[in-house]
Structure formats: structure tokens, C-alpha cells
Amino acid sequence: MTRDLVFANAKVALADEIIEGWVAVRDGVIVEIGRGAAPRDSIDVSGDLVIPGLIELHTDHLETHLKPRPKVHWPEASAIMAFDAQIAASGITTVFDCIRAGRDVDYAPQANEIVSVIGSLAQARERDLLRADHRLHLRCELTADGVLEEAEAAMGRHRVDLISLMDHTPGARQFASLDAWRTYYGGKSGFPPDQLDRLIETKRVMHERNYKRHRACIVALARERGVVLASHDDTTPAHVDESITDRVAIAEFPTSLEAARLSHEAGIDVLMGAPNVVRGGSHSGNVAAEALARAGHLDILSSDYVPASLLFGAFELARRIEGFGLAKALRTVTLNPARAASLEDRGEIAEGKRADLVRVRLVDGQPVVREVYREGRRVS
């Protein structure tokens, strides 16, 4: 893009403060930031906020578009375009699309489905059909029999930017409570209680057979290819020790205050769900994201299963927690995830950074996305 853009009469969200001023863009890059009146022709944003484009590290919302109803498989190209439009309209300019490797109770991919979906995403990106910058987050269910083969197939054909190490064994991590596991998976699968009980035993056997070997292999693959690693649902000090040993960069959804504290103290960025913030707690009965923020152990928010929650969750942190501040809250959805994912060219409004920008208006205290720009080009 060669045309200059200047956003004036704005509340500009810098990394550490909100200023009244303007932002100038040239060739998709931020070239100048100023306070007060803009020095030349500009776009008057009428006092709205201009914030960095949001960075989403963990959303499995694409699955909802691919499988909108049980036994319904929506055409991939159409699903991806609809998903991308929703992502951009939520103010997200960089998104890590979660693709699951390994069969679980609520997820049974068809043959070659993973590679096919990743290929469709890559094709849409190559054709410049996507509004947001899409990257690949491979979620690996370590206890599943086929996870290693599926991960290797995906990584052999496409670039993977983030890998999370998951274990949804009943009685552990997110589902330390068997009742919580039965409620969650029973609701998703429709299985009767006796079938769920048999499944609990099956999954425990799979954990004993696969977990350690699969984790070691996938960690080795990630190191070999320079892929950022994330743990998932760490609960105990032993889980955190394992993550430290494996040089994990991000702790996704730790389920206890202790696990979050130990991860944060070890330099592992703690990621929690924005829906957890908006709802006021975890739907699984685990630690609340707001409690971690108050304790100083929250680094990153993720929209998880509701794209619009990312921006809303950040504003809720600033509103609910005295002294937290909007600049700090916005870092949980911009600069902090950028740094955790080794994306040094984005995540803040600063000279030389990508012009990924979002115009936000507060309506009755709620943030409303008005315009979204990716590298200086309006995409929503």
C-alpha cells in the first residue's frame, strides 16, 4: 500500500499509556505517532480509541463453522471465509487457528480431514482471500493413538506456528472432577452414564500407554522445527515442572492458582480464556481468570470459543480491577501474545511496527469495533 493514512482526534493505545493524538501509516507500517492535532490531512475518528490489532493464540471456533451441527460437515472454503470474517469483525488481525490432532470423545476426524482443512486454509491465504493473518496452532491430544502420525503429516506439508500439549484424561488437569468430565462430555456426546464410565477406563489405559512417549516425540518435533510450545491445563507443581523441562513458552488455561503462579514465576506466559473473564469464572469449575489477574499471574487472554470475547474481556479487566488500567489490559490481547509467539513486528502502536489497527468506540461502556486495518488496509 502506498497511500498514506493518518488517524486523528484519537485516543491512541500505546503499550504503557493512552494518549490523545494521532497515528500515521505508510506502506502498511506505522511511521509516526503524535499528541494533539494531526499535522496534515487525516481521518477524524471522533475521539474513538485506536488500538493495536488483537492477537489470538488459541481459538477452536473454526470447528464450529466446519461442523455447525452433529453429523454436518460444512464445505471447508465456505466455513473458513465465514470464520475469517467473524475474526476480523472482532478486531483480531492475527489469529492462530486451532486444528486438533488426535481423536477425543467430542472430536473424531475423518481420514485426511486435518491435512485437508490445513490445506484449505493455506490456499485461501495464498489467494489473498483472508482478512486476518492466519497462522496454525496444532492442538495435540497426547493420549490419542493416532496423534503422532497426524501431527507429523500436518507438519510435513505445512508450517505450524504453535503446538499445544493436551491431556483430557478423566480425573486429571481440567477434569480433575469426574463429575465435571461426565457433565461436559456427556453433554457433547449424548452417551449414557454406563457408556461414559466405560470410556473413563479406556481413556485412563490410553494415558498409561501413550502420554509420555507421545509428549516426548512431539516436543522433539517442535524443537527440531522451531515451533513455539504451549502446555494445556497444567494443574499441579509436577505439571509445571514438566512444562519447564520441555521449555514451554505458554501455559494455556492453568486450572489452579498454584500452577499459574509457578508458571508465571518460571517465565512461562499464562494464558486464560476471555469468556472466563466475561462470565465471571470457569465453566469447568477451575480457577477464575480474574483471580489470576488480581494476583498478578495473568499475561494473555484468548477468545477460546467466542471471538468477540477477546476485546470485551480486556475491557472488563480494566473495569473490574482497580489500578489495572486499560493499557495493561490491552497488552493481554496485543503485545503479550505477540511476544509469546515470537512475533516482533506487531502487537503495539509504535514506529516501525505493522499498521494492524482497530478503531473502537465505547457505547454504554461496552467496546464496539468500528473499523479494522491490517497492514494499513481496511479489512472490516
For residue 288 the three cell numbers come to 477464575
Q: d(Cα 230, Cα 244) in Å, to the nearest integer?
A: 11
DSSP letter (8 states) at residue 38: -
Predicted local distance difference test score (pLDDT) of residue 2 = 40
d(CA 105, CA 103): 7
∠ CA 328-334-337 to the nearest 5 degrees? Answer: 105
- b/e sequence 331-341, b meaning 16+ C-beta within 10 Å: bbbbbbbbbbb
Element (H, E) at 80: helix 76-89
Q: Which domains does the chain have, with CATH numbers?
A: 1-52+346-380 (2.30.40.10), 54-345 (3.20.20.140)
Contact 223, 201 (CB under 8 A): no
Number of neighbours of residue 60 by Cβ within 10 angstroms: 17
CA-CA distances (angstroms) from residue 196 to 76, 106, 153, 331, 373?
A: 31, 12, 31, 41, 47
- C-alpha to C-alpha distance for 1 and 355, rounded to whole angstroms: 11
pTM for this entry: 0.92
- Tens of pLDDT along the chain (380 residues) come to 445 899 999 999 999 999 999 999 999 999 999 999 987 789 999 999 999 999 999 999 998 999 898 788 899 999 999 999 999 999 999 999 999 998 776 556 665 788 899 999 999 999 999 999 999 999 999 999 989 999 999 998 899 999 999 998 887 787 777 777 777 776 666 678 788 778 888 888 888 999 999 999 999 999 999 999 999 999 999 999 999 999 999 999 999 999 999 999 999 999 999 999 999 988 767 899 999 999 999 999 999 999 999 999 999 999 999 999 999 999 999 999 999 999 999 999 999 999 999 999 999 999 999 999 999 999 99
